[in-house]
């Protein structure tokens, strides 16, 4: 499977554009959009058949870029954009699923208040112990885990996305899992004297 990427992406030029966006330069944002919107739209379209949702996600992605350009820390800009876009797509799909469920529930006369298993898992990844443990591992390891586990990319896609060799992706994924496991063990409650938690 061919991974759509920005052609001729110049990492230094993209980072300079992001710095300008962080200072409020709308022309820099427009240039960044022109450079990356095409491949983002194509990749999002592979994951979602609803063209309207894909367009909304692309717009939300660049609104997020406008708001958080100053938080970019060294990763390839294309990879950073894809992480934002893929998360916005997951958010949009969850919102649509909730709306559909609420509409069906309303038409059937029952309340839809129980979150799906996927929603509970994703919420745990973002906000629970796993999310806290993810925040404690190094950024380059966290980046690989998010791409391969949360975003569901293959080793090859992750390598292209992050601009690193496939072997490095595999090595970092192993290290990330080991560090994540250790971080989770450190955050686990101590067993009490009778086997319960203290």
How confident is the model at residue 58, as a pLDDT?
Answer: 95
Q: How far apart are CA 36 and CA 11, in angstroms?
A: 12
Q: Judge contact between 82 and 40, C-beta under 8 A.
A: yes
β-pair partners for 185: none
For 62-109, what is each residue's pLDDT tens digit? Answer: 999 998 888 887 778 888 898 889 888 888 887 777 766 666 656 666
Rounded Cα–Cα distance for residues 120 and 115 (Å)? 7
Q: pLDDT by residue (tens digit) across 124-166? A: 555 456 667 777 788 888 888 777 776 677 888 788 777 789 9
Q: What is the pLDDT of residue 176?
A: 87
């Amino acid at each position: 499977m061919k991974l759509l990427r920005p052609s001729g992406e110049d990492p230094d030029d993209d980072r300079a554009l992001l710095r300008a966006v962080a200072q409020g330069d709308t022309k820099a944002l427009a240039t960044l959009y022109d450079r990356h919107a095409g491949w983002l739209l194509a990749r999002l379209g592979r994951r979602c058949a609803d063209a309207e949702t894909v367009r909304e996600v692309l717009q939300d992605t660049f609104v997020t870029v406008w708001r958080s350009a100053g938080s970019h820390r060294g990763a390839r800009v294309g990879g950073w954009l894809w992480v934002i876009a893929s998360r916005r797509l997951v958010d949009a799909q969850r919102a649509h699923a909730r709306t559909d469920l609420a509409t069906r529930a309303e038409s059937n006369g029952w309340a839809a208040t129980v979150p799906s298993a996927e929603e509970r898992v994703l919420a745990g990844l973002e906000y629970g112990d796993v999310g806290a443990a993810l925040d404690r591992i190094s950024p380059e390891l966290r980046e690989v885990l998010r791409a391969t586990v949360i975003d569901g990319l293959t080793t090859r896609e992750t390598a292209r996305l992050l601009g690193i060799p496939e072997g490095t992706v595999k090595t970092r994924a192993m290290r990330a899992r080991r560090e994540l496991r250790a971080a989770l063990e450190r955050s686990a409650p101590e067993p009490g004297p009778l086997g319960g938690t203290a």
